[in-house]
């Protein structure tokens, strides 16, 4: 998932060689500028309603969603943060527009701040996580805009929203990074509008040039430097027994009845979280895995960590408990190992191991 390049490896090799990158191309206007209906924003961004003609009656909602996403991304860049944002705008039956949510990539926290960053908050997932009850949103009336084509985690999140009725997505920048846009466009009934916003291109070029490490970390491309801890965890090993005893001590005093996940390394438990989907209308960005990986913070390289997942009272670890967006996050950040307390169903194991993530079943 590399900006301006088809794969991670190629981008990492060229991230500091901007002169080798293909030049950014300004999209040609389909209508003379004097006749184009535009809206100017505080970021000197000019949007044209004609660019959203594929959305039909939802064109205004699409324009507004992109405007919100790019304005938030522009502010992020000026604050030294990752300039990737997402926004969802609903068109009410009256024709009025309602902002459902606007989200900001959380890898670099706002300053001044004591926060350590929230890596599972990309533009799209951050916007969705803000929604208190996703079941109360009429997703069939929503346009979801992203400033950059969605990664595998955010593609999973938007696919989940499609299952709730979402049928319109706008990608502000898709010329240099296709992401999962092609996959999303194949969903039944889904319309994906792909723009080539010069503003979005410029923001990503500036950020990836100035902060190459942060951009690589945001897409899970910082190689692990120490895998000794994860390698020590083998079936029936003493290290695994000690780890699971610690996890049990986390769960028992609180009487957990929901799934719980933890991010662990040789330094200890970086974060643990209980599933919050039942309190948020089934919000997949609030699964135990998504919360634990986010709360672990941006200073932790998830590729060096073990993800522990416990589902109380189950005889197998199923997809619903683990979470579809959680699988996308694992594919993106690739923890060194996933430890579960009940055998995973075949599809879950295949999804994780297919991404190169070993799965270990621990007795509790």
156-203: pLDDT as tens digits: 999 999 999 999 999 999 877 779 999 999 999 999 999 989 999 999
The domain defined by 8-218 carries CATH number 3.40.50.970: no
pLDDT at 277: 97
Structure tokens belonging to residue 123 = 């533009």
pLDDT at 45: 62
Is residue 43 reached through a cis peptide bond, with omega within 30 degrees of 0 on the bond before it? no
- 3-state SS string for the chain: CECCECCHHHHHHHCCCHHHCCCCCCCCCCCCHHHCCEEECCCCCEEEHHHHHHHHHHHHHHHHHHHHHHHHHHHHHHCCCCCCEEEEEEECCCCCEEEEEEEECCCCCCCCCCCCCCCCCCHHHHHHHCCCCHHHCCHHHEEEEECCCCCHHHHHHHHHHHHCCCCEEEECECCCCCCCHHHHHCCCCCEEEECECHHHHHHHHHHHHHCHHHHHHHCCCCCCCCCHHHHHCCCCCHHHHHHHHHHHHHHHHHCCCCCEEEEEECCEEEEEEECCHHHCCCCHHHCHHHHHHHHCCCCCCHHHCEEEEECCCCCCECHHHHCHHHHHHHHHHCCCEEEECCCECHHHHHHHHHCCCCEEECCC
306-339: pLDDT as tens digits: 999 998 888 999 999 999 999 999 999 999 999 9
Report how far apart, in Å, the C-alpha atoms of 349 and of each of 55, 152, 153, 240, 358 are: 38, 17, 17, 19, 9
Q: What is the CATH number of domain 228-361?
A: 3.40.140.10
63-78: pLDDT as tens digits: 999 999 999 999 999 9
pLDDT at 253 exceeding the cut of 70: no
Domain with CATH 3.40.140.10 in the chain: 8-218, 228-361
- Token pair 């000019």 is found at 46
């Amino acid at each position: 998932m590399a900006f301006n390049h088809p794969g991670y490896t190629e981008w990492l090799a060229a991230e500091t060689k901007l002169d080798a990158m293909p030049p950014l191309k300004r999209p040609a206007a389909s209508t003379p500028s004097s006749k184009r209906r535009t809206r100017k924003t505080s970021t000197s961004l000019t949007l044209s309603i004609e660019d959203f003609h594929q959305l039909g009656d939802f064109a205004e909602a699409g324009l507004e969603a992109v405007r919100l996403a790019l304005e938030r991304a522009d502010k992020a860049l000026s604050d030294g943060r990752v300039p990737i944002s997402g926004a969802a705008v609903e068109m009410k039956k009256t024709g009025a527009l309602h902002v459902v949510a606007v989200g900001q990539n959380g890898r670099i926290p706002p300053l001044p701040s004591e926060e350590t960053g929230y890596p599972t908050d990309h533009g799209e997932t951050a916007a969705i996580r803000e929604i208190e009850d996703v079941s109360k949103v009429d997703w069939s009336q929503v346009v979801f805009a992203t400033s950059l084509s969605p990664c595998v985690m955010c593609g999973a999140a938007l696919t989940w929203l499609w299952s709730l009725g979402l049928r319109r997505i706008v990608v502000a920048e898709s010329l240099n990074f296709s992401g999962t846009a092609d996959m999303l466009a194949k969903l039944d009934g889904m319309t994906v509008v792909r723009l080539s916003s010069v503003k979005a291109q410029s923001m990503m070029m500036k950020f990836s040039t100035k902060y190459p490490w942060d951009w690589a970390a945001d897409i899970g491309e910082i190689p692990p430097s120490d895998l000794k801890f994860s390698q020590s965890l083998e079936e029936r090993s003493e290290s695994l027994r000690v780890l699971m005893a610690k996890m049990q001590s986390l769960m028992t005093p609180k009487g957990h009845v929901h799934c719980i996940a933890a991010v662990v390394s040789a330094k200890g438990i970086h974060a643990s979280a209980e599933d919050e989907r039942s309190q948020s209308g089934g919000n997949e960005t609030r699964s135990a895995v998504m919360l634990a990986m986010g709360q672990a913070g941006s200073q932790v390289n998830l590729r060096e960590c073990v993800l522990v997942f416990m589902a109380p009272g189950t005889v197998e670890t199923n997809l619903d408990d683990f979470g579809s967006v959680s699988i996308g996050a694992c594919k993106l950040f690739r923890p060194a190992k996933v430890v579960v307390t009940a055998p995973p169903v075949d599809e879950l194991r295949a999804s994780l191991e297919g991404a190169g993530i070993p799965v270990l079943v621990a007795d509790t």
